[in-house]
Structure 1
Amino acid sequence: MVLLHVLEIKAVAPLNQVSLIPQPVKIEALAGTFKLNSSTKLISTSANKEIAELFAAMFKAPTGFNLQHAFSGSTGIQLSISKTPNALLGNEGYTLHVTPTKINIVANKPAGLFYGMQTLMQLLPKEIESPLLVKNKSWSVPCVKITDYPRFGWRGLMLDVSRHYFDKGMVKKYINQLAKYKMNVFHWHLTDDQGWRIEIKSLPKLTEIGAWRAPRVGLWWTP
């Protein structure tokens, strides 16, 4: 059954062209590509402008493109909330249709638009992950039609900062990676007998005492 399922996916969308994690519910490969360039617009209503601007910032570092927001347009990347909600998609599902001239992402809720944009990021060349400018790169997206929605309502990942210390930058990076793979719950394990990591100013002894598992007796070479 597994082999047959893989063969079916490859027949619809060759894995050397479209490789996504997690695998969408439905994907159809089409002819052609969409070329992202400095004149590409991110189209949305004012209600979804924040999502558009978030991804514009993510595109900027590797591409150097300062993508502008627009409220309408016949070309570009369009984010739309469906006027007639699709019950199949729920609150976190989306459809993504890529043609040579336009990318349409449609969802019932803003969460679906966010996850649709995460899929779009994966459709771009892997260099889109670079924190630095990548020169002489063609930023193309294969033309596809995708319908996707989560199988599970709770999709979580835990980070244990009580037993193992992580700085703020690492925690933020972890959350970004969690969102990239469409997980929706961040389980932040802040307290345990090994350490109490969350500061509560009205209860200072939680960190003064609770941050340590046993009484401190100095360095190992001191009495």
Structure 2
Amino acid sequence: MSWRSMKYGTEAAKANHEVVMSPTQYAYLDYMQADVITEPKVYASLRLSKAYEFDPVPEDVNPIYIKGGQANLWTEQVYNIRQAEYMTWPRGFAIAESVWSPKEKKNWANFFARTEQHFKRLDVAETKYAPSVYDPIFSVKRTADRQLLITLSTEVDGLDMYYSFDNSFPDRFYPKYTTPLVPPIDAKVLKVITYRGKNPIGRMMNMPIEELEKRAGKR
């Protein structure tokens, strides 16, 4: 069982040992799957799209020594069954498809369209799952004059992001994100929500400017 990374499983397989791949960077479901402002803090993160990149058979290894792949949900920071459900789905779908499907047949857009159909089934079953794939992703850096520059992105295509810096709650009649943002000098929080067409689909994200300043580093 290769838990730490693909590296050690690859080395073991090259030495003719049988291996089950379960690397931290793709298959640890106890890692955060959204921004730390929305989930209990864990020391690493694993978004749905990253989990879907999992390929248990490295290209330079004889596949007869790779017996399969596995996802791990370590529960020292998972306190009840509802949180366990939240941490498992939808990343469990991504790991399953990565293990069962030929690499050449995998397609992220197709996978996510089917995942959304599973969301409907999970809703009917009242099974909890993470909606974080719809959340905006915050990236920050400093401009040449040391101002904070905020870039927003999403894991899935076809979403619009609307934002505010005035502590009000944006909807689709607010400014739509199109280019990186420099916050106003008196701004305390950046609120962002994602829409698909006319309908809100993501969670309202309340990102403190102070948190973004910390992530960007010293002025």
TM-score by length of 2: 0.24
Q: Which has the larger radius of gyration?
A: 1
The higher-RCO structure (CA 8 Å, 6+ apart) is 1
The answer to which structure has the higher strand fraction is: 1
